[in-house]
Amino acid sequence: MADSAGTAQLTAAAPATPTLRRSVTPWGSFSWGYSDVGADIFVGLGLVLGAAAGASNVAFLFAGVVYVCVGLAYTELAAAYPVAGGGQYFVMRGLGDIFGFIAGWAVLLDFTIDITLFAWSCIDYLSKLLPILAFTIHPWTHFWTVLLLIVGLATLNFIGVRESSAFNEVVSGLDIASETAILFFGFVFAFRPELLIHTMHTSWPTPFNLMNGVSLAIISFVGLESISQAAQETQRPASVIPRTSISLILTILIFALSYSNLALGMQPAHALPLDAHGHEQQLWAFLGNEDNNGASVQVLASLVPYYGALAALYVPVLGAILLLISSNSGVFGSSRIAYAMSQARLLPSLFRSVHPKFRTPAVSIAIFCGFAILELIFAALPSISPGSKDVYARLFRGEDGITFLGDLYAFGAAASYSFVFLALISLRLNDPAVPRKFKMPFNIPFTYRGARVEFPLVAVVGFLGIFSILFFVMLTHVIGRIAGPSWIVLGIFGYLAYRRYKGYPMFRSRPHDWRNQQTKILQEAGELELMDEYLSNLKAVDEQRAKAGSA
């Protein structure tokens, strides 16, 4: 039985300091995640089709299976540890401080890419209605518009204005209805199964291009961790998060697989000259230049008979709004993760500095938006500065701006997700007392250090899958294997220098009272029954291990 006296004592000792308000509803939790993940298909579809050609649906399927494993891992961890911080917190708790830093630093890379990539694609979608914004026609106009958009989002976050949860819910609902309508009318009026089979047969890519496509397909599934980052603001997270996460996993998986199959069975491909790698390329009627690659969903929708004329008018606006929200999530998320890492003594106190008037982490916002602007300059450099084109082409084999951003995005996601799977396995073995209202399927029970634990087979499958995608990124993307690891290495040097300066252990972890912290987390989440269960489990595990140690 639970220790009700302990519950009453802990409740009475509840801290008086303000905490994050738990106002996120189940639909709000879903839309919070969808505003991040749902925008990815708007960017990823064109990139994958351009790389994997007739096997694009296979690339999405492989990445989708890995994504399901990632989603299940985040669902279990966020429900068991409902605290802000997401993967960085899980890894720090499961593997230690230095690995928590590496995972968090990789996520920060993704968030800075979020800012630039989605702002870039937002303008690409608007350019379908305002051609003056098209990157291939007016690169300087496109560049300055994206730059001003990033500065504007940084300013909004600086003064404390961020996306409204209610607005997220409305836009997410409209986008789901829109994407469903595109698929419905597309499959009814334009899809030809025989063309799908023909395209897969005649346009099957080389192994290199297939790996390239898989590595890019993962970016269509990045952002599920937004639900876990909002766990500390979600009502009854242990019950709500599993439902919303599973719904989001299925929604995004269905959309990604459906869009890739619709594209292959809707328009025939045409051969192109060999790319810079010496590999064959395929071109679809709705691709062909960088503007279309960045707005592939809109171009695809516009080619659907009957419905396309209407879609061509509203999809650019709706897609741009969703991408704008995702870009803003990058600004907000990078400052939040940096703030949390600073509180955990993984980053200097500078990153948790709060503006005295606006009460926002202004320094973190400025620093990571600055990184985003540097990424924008580097991505746009060949077009806005023709003199750099030859040097850029020699270094990076002619990759365009949006592909450059996609490379880094895939690297950051694959790196951080790899550590999350390892952290889940570690927490299953070393923290068995934590109640898990949702648990990944297919587990092997056994005794570890005197306590009964369950080893997660799906986590092993997920780790192997995401690690293979990380390998594909390193193999097929010159930028990914240079800039991505460089970001991690520079971060580690900074981390070690900071820890040495502060006198903290450099490779070991600082002391953490995880038991009391977990009790406090569950109490603040309103999960008092789970808190009682946790205290009871702790007592049982301690007795089992004491008995095993004395045997």
Neighbouring CB atoms inside 10 A of 453's CB total 18
pLDDT cut 70: percent of the chain above it: 81
**Pairwise CA distance, residues 29 & 42, whole Å:** 21
Would you state the pLDDT for residue 387?
A: 60
> Is residue 63's pLDDT more than 90?
yes
**Pairwise CA distance, residues 509 & 452, whole Å:** 26
**Pairwise CA distance, residues 369 & 25, whole Å:** 30
**Pairwise CA distance, residues 363 & 350, whole Å:** 7
Q: In total, how many domains does the chain have?
A: 1
**Does residue 68 sit within a domain?**
yes
**Pairwise CA distance, residues 326 & 299, whole Å:** 20
Would you state the pLDDT for residue 21?
A: 46
**Does residue 5 sit within a domain?**
no
Helix (H) or strand (E) holding 271: strand 269-272
> Is residue 94's pLDDT more than 50?
yes
**Does residue 446 sit within a domain?**
yes
> Is residue 399's pLDDT more than 80?
no
Place of tokens 């496109």: 142
**Does residue 536 sit within a domain?**
no
pTM: 0.84
**Does residue 12 sit within a domain?**
no
Rounded mean pLDDT of 82-99?
Answer: 88
**Does residue 473 sit within a domain?**
yes
pLDDT mean across residues, the chain: 82
Q: Torsion over CA of 175, 180, 183 and 185, rounded to 10 degrees?
A: -110
Cβ partners under 8 Å of residue 6, min gap 6? 532, 535
Q: ∠ CA 101-151-401 to the nearest 5 degrees? A: 75
- The encoded tokens of residue 203 equal 């346009």
Q: Which has more pLDDT, 35 or 154?
A: 154
For the domain that residue 440 is a member of, what is the CATH number? 1.20.1740.10
**Does residue 276 sit within a domain?**
yes
Tell me the residue range of the domain where 455 lies: 23-512
Cβ partners under 8 Å of residue 245, min gap 6? 33, 71, 74, 75, 78, 224, 227
DSSP codes of every residue in 419-479: HHHHHHHHHHHH-TTS--SS--SSEEEEEETTEEEEEEHHHHHHHHHHHHHHHHHHHH-HH
**Does residue 257 sit within a domain?**
yes
> Is residue 266's pLDDT more than 80?
yes
**Pairwise CA distance, residues 265 & 331, whole Å:** 37
Q: Which residue(s) pair with 24 in the sheet? A: 234
